[in-house]
Amino acid sequence: MTDLTDLYPADRIVLREVGLRDGLQMVRQFPSTHQKQRWIELARDAGVRNFEVGSYLPAQRYPQFADIEDIVSAGMDKPGIRLSTLVLNKRGAMRALEGGAHEIMFVVSASEAHNLANANRSRSDTLREIEEAIALRKDMVDAPVAAVAIAMSFGCSIAGKSAVEPKDVLDIAGRALEAGAQVINIADTVGYGGPTEVRTIVRQFRSAFRDVPLAFHFHDTRGVGLANAAAALEEGVTILDASIGGLGGCPFAPGATGNIVFEDLVFLAHTMGLDTGIDPTRLMDVRQLIDVAMPNEQTYGQFRRAGLPKA
Amino acid sequence: MTDLTDLYPADRIVLREVGLRDGLQMVRQFPSTHQKQRWIELARDAGVRNFEVGSYLPAQRYPQFADIEDIVSAGMDKPGIRLSTLVLNKRGAMRALEGGAHEIMFVVSASEAHNLANANRSRSDTLREIEEAIALRKDMVDAPVAAVAIAMSFGCSIAGKSAVEPKDVLDIAGRALEAGAQVINIADTVGYGGPTEVRTIVRQFRSAFRDVPLAFHFHDTRGVGLANAAAALEEGVTILDASIGGLGGCPFAPGATGNIVFEDLVFLAHTMGLDTGIDPTRLMDVRQLIDVAMPNEQTYGQFRRAGLPKA
C-alpha cells in the first residue's frame, strides 16, 4: 500500500501539479504522450514531485486522456515522482485501480446540482460508489492512497454562491472519510471563494477532523486564487493544487477558468519562507513545452515574464 | 485645508484608482483629456471616490500628463470625488500646489539607487524638498493633504531584493513624518514582496507610528499582488492603491509591470466582508473606455471575464 506520509510528507509544502489533468479538461489542443512524459520529467527536474496526470474518462469524448494508462505506467518507473489520477465514476475507479498510480482522487461535489451535471448521479450515489471502490483497494498489494476532492466547495456556478455553506463541505468531508478517504481536497472549482472563507473552512475542518490530510484546489477565476492560497498556507495547509501556466477548467462548471498558476504559487510560498523544493525558473522549461504543444491555448501567470527578484 | 478624515474616512476601505497616474507612466497610447474625464466620471458612478490623476512631469517627455492641470481643475468641480497628484521634485511640487488637488503624493524611495534613478537626487535631498514643499502649504486656504509614497519598499530592482529591509522603510517613513507627511504610502514598486513581509511592515509601522494613515501600493509583477492586498486588509490597512485593468509600471524601475487590478481587488475585499462602496460590474464601463482609448496596451484581471458569482 502506498504510504500516505511518503505521498504527503508532513514536514514540507506539497504543491501538486494538476496541469495534465485539470489543465487538459477543456482544451482543444493537448500534448502528445511523449510531450506529457517530458512535461513530467522537466517539472520533476525543477523539483515538482506530486502530479495529477489525467482522468479516467471515455477516450472518444476525452481524447486528451486516452493515453492515461501509458502515462501512469511510464511515470511509475521514474524516480522522484508521485502520481495521482482522477475518477468521476465506478467505471473510472475500476480502471484507476488497475492503472496503479500512487493515489486515486475521487470527486464528489458539495452541490447536488453540480454533482448531477458532473457525474450524472446524486452525491449520495457518488459517495456510495467511492466507498465501494475504496473497499476494493483493501486486498491490493500496491493499493493507492484514496483521496476525495469536494468540488464547488465555495459556491456552485449552477446552484449559486449561497447554495454551498461550509457545513455542507464538512458534511461531505465527513461522509467521504467514513467511506474510507485518507485525504480531503477542498476545491473552489469556479473561483467563488475568498481568503476569509478559506480560513473558516480550514479551522472548521481541523476542529472536526483533526490531522486528516487537507488539500486545497483553487481556481483564479476572479483573480483571488493566490490570496486564497496564501490564506491556506498561513492556516497551516501543506498541500495545494496548481497548474503550470494556470491551465484548467471544468467542462461541467459554467464560468470555470484556470487553476492558480503553479510557478507564481512557488514564488508566493518562497516569499513566506516556506520550502517547496521547487525552482520556479526551471519550471519555465515546462512553459516552453506547453507553448509548443498547445500554442493556441490561453496560459496565465506573471512570474514567467518577471522572473526572480534581483538578488 | 483639505480634511484628512474626509479624504480617508476611518470607517471604510478606500481603494485609490491610480490608473490615470501610474497606469499611464509607461504607455505609448493614452486617453484624451475628454476620455480621462469620462474615466473619472464612470469610475465615480461605480462608486470610486479617490483618484490619483497624474504626475507633474515635463510635458515634452511625458505628454500623457500634459493636461494634468485641466484634469484637476475639471475634477475639482465634480461632486463625490477626491483627487491626488504625484510629484517627484520641487518643480512638480510648485505646480501641484498651484494645481489645487485634494492631496499631493510626494515620492521618495526606500533605496538610494532607485531614488537617484527616479528623482536624480539623494533620498535626503528629496526629503528636504518634500519638507520645504509641505511647509509652503501652511499658508494656503485649500491646502492639500500631504502624503509620502515610499517606493521600492520590498526590495529594489536596481540595488537588489536584500538592499531594502523593513527598518529602512520605517526610517524613511519617520523622516517623512518629521517633514510633515500626513499619510504614508508603502509601495512595492516591482512586486518583490509577499504577504508575510506585508504583515511585518504593517505591525512595525503601527508599533512605531500608531494611527498615522497607512496606504499600500502593490504591483502584481509576480502574481502575488492580491495576496499582499489581502494580508494588508487582514492587518487592518484601509487604504490601497490599484488600477482598473491593472495598468501600470515605473519607467525607472526595471522589471516593473502593472498595478494590482482594481476590479479584482474590489471582488477580493467583498469576499472578506469589507465595504468598498464600489460595484465592480460597473467598473467594466471604464475597462471599455480603456479598450477604446488604449487598444494596444496590455491590461490584466480576471473579474472582467468572469463577473460576479451566480447569486
pLDDT in tens, B196-229: 999 999 999 999 999 999 999 999 999 999 999 9
Q: How confident is the model at residue A255 (pLDDT cuts 50, 70, 90)?
A: confident
DSSP one-letter code for A78:
S
Which pLDDT tens digit goes with each residue over B123-137? 999 999 999 999 998
Which pLDDT tens digit goes with each residue over B131-175? 999 999 888 888 999 999 999 999 999 999 999 999 999 999 999
Q: Flag whether pLDDT at A91 surpasses 90.
A: yes
Average pLDDT (B89-114) is: 95
B220 closest CB neighbour out of A196, A231, A302: A302
Q: How confident is the model at residue B254 (pLDDT cuts 50, 70, 90)?
A: confident
Reduce the DSSP state of residue A202 to 3 states and report it: helix
Cα–Cα distance for residue pair A143/A93, rounded to 1 Å: 12
Residue A221 has what pLDDT?
95
- Which chain B residues are within 8 Å of A221, Cβ to Cβ? 302, 306
Q: Flag whether pLDDT at A306 surpasses 90.
A: yes
What is the residue-averaged pLDDT of chain A?
95
Q: How confident is the model at residue A95 (pLDDT cuts 50, 70, 90)?
A: very high
Active site residue A250: yes
Residue B139 has what pLDDT?
84
Beta bridge partners of A261: A243
Least confident segment among B89-103, B150-164, B216-230, B249-263: B249-263
- Which chain A residues are within 8 Å of B196, Cβ to Cβ? 271-273
Mutate to test the interface with B, among A114, A220, A226, A234 (most CBs of B within 10 A): A226
The alpha-helical segments, DSSP class H, found in chain B are 4-7, 33-45, 68-76, 90-99, 112-119, 123-137, 166-178, 195-209, 225-234, 262-271, 284-293, 303-306
Q: Flag whether pLDDT at A304 surpasses 80.
A: yes
Cα–Cα distance for residue pair A48/A41, rounded to 1 Å: 9
Q: How confident is the model at residue A68 (pLDDT cuts 50, 70, 90)?
A: very high
Q: Are A75 and A44 in contact (CB under 8 A)?
A: no
Cα nearest neighbour of B303 on chain A: A222
Nearest CA to CA, how far is A290 from chain B (Å)?
19
**Per the CB < 8 Å rule, is A160 touching B261?**
no
Residue B294 has what pLDDT?
95
Q: Flag whether pLDDT at A256 surpasses 80.
A: no
Q: Which long-range contacts (CB under 8 A, 24 or more apart) does A280-288 make?
A: A280/A46, A280/A308, A281/A307, A281/A308, A282/A42, A282/A45, A282/A46, A282/A47, A283/A43, A283/A46, A283/A48, A283/A244, A285/A42, A285/A45, A285/A46, A286/A39, A286/A42, A286/A43, A286/A46, A286/A244, A286/A245, A287/A244, A287/A245, A287/A263
Q: Are B197 and B166 in contact (CB under 8 A)?
A: yes
**Per the CB < 8 Å rule, is B302 touching A191?**
yes
| Residue B123, all three cell numbers | 533620498
Q: Flag whether pLDDT at B92 surpasses 80.
A: yes
Which pLDDT tens digit goes with each residue over B53-89? 999 999 999 999 999 999 999 999 899 999 999 999 9
Nearest CA to CA, how far is A99 from chain B (Å)?
36
Nearest CA to CA, how far is A263 from chain B (Å)?
9
Q: Are A25 and A250 in contact (CB under 8 A)?
A: yes
Its sign, for the CA torsion A237, A239, A240, A245, is: positive
Residue B103 has what pLDDT?
97
Q: Flag whether pLDDT at A142 surpasses 90.
A: no
Residue A96 has what pLDDT?
96
Cα–Cα distance for residue pair B226/B294, rounded to 1 Å: 24
Cα–Cα distance for residue pair B255/B191, rounded to 1 Å: 9
Cα–Cα distance for residue pair B67/B63, rounded to 1 Å: 8
Q: Flag whether pLDDT at A249 surpasses 80.
A: no
Residue A138 has what pLDDT?
84
Cα–Cα distance for residue pair B94/B32, rounded to 1 Å: 25
| Residue B124, all three cell numbers | 535626503
| Residue B189, all three cell numbers | 514598486
- Which chain A residues are within 8 Å of B230, Cβ to Cβ? 194-195, 224, 227, 230-231
Reduce the DSSP state of residue B9 to 3 states and report it: coil
Q: Are A214 and A236 in contact (CB under 8 A)?
A: no
Cα nearest neighbour of A159 on chain B: B310
Q: Are B50 and B2 in contact (CB under 8 A)?
A: no
**Per the CB < 8 Å rule, is A195 touching B234?**
yes
Residue A252 has what pLDDT?
76
Least confident segment among A4-13, A183-192, B65-74, B264-273: A4-13
**CB burial class (10 A; 0-12, 13-18, 19+) of residue B192?**
buried
Instruction: Give A309's contacts (C-beta < 8 A, 6+ positions apart).
Output: B155, B157, B160, B161, B190, B192, B222
Cα–Cα distance for residue pair A246/B300, rounded to 1 Å: 14
Q: Flag whether pLDDT at A125 surpasses 90.
A: yes
DSSP one-letter code for B62:
-
For residues A200, A191, A134, A82, the Cα torsion angle rounded to the nearest 10 degrees is -100
Give the percent of chain A with pLDDT over 70. Answer: 100
Nearest CA to CA, how far is B194 from chain A (Å)?
5
Residue A141 has what pLDDT?
86
Q: Flag whether pLDDT at A309 surpasses 80.
A: yes
Q: Are B86 and B54 in contact (CB under 8 A)?
A: yes
Q: Flag whether pLDDT at A139 surpasses 90.
A: no
- Which chain B residues are within 8 Å of A230, Cβ to Cβ? 194-195, 224, 227, 230-231
Instruction: For residue B253, give the amino acid letter.
Output: A
Which pLDDT tens digit goes with each residue over A10-61? 889 999 999 999 999 988 899 999 999 999 999 999 999 999 999 999 999 9
Average pLDDT (B238-264) is: 90
Which pLDDT tens digit goes with each residue over B11-65? 899 999 999 999 999 888 999 999 999 999 999 999 999 999 999 999 999 999 9
A301 closest CB neighbour out of B193, B223, B271: B223
The alpha-helical segments, DSSP class H, found in chain A are 4-7, 33-45, 68-76, 90-99, 112-119, 123-137, 166-178, 195-209, 225-234, 262-271, 284-293, 303-306
Residue B216 has what pLDDT?
98
| Residue A110, all three cell numbers | 458539495
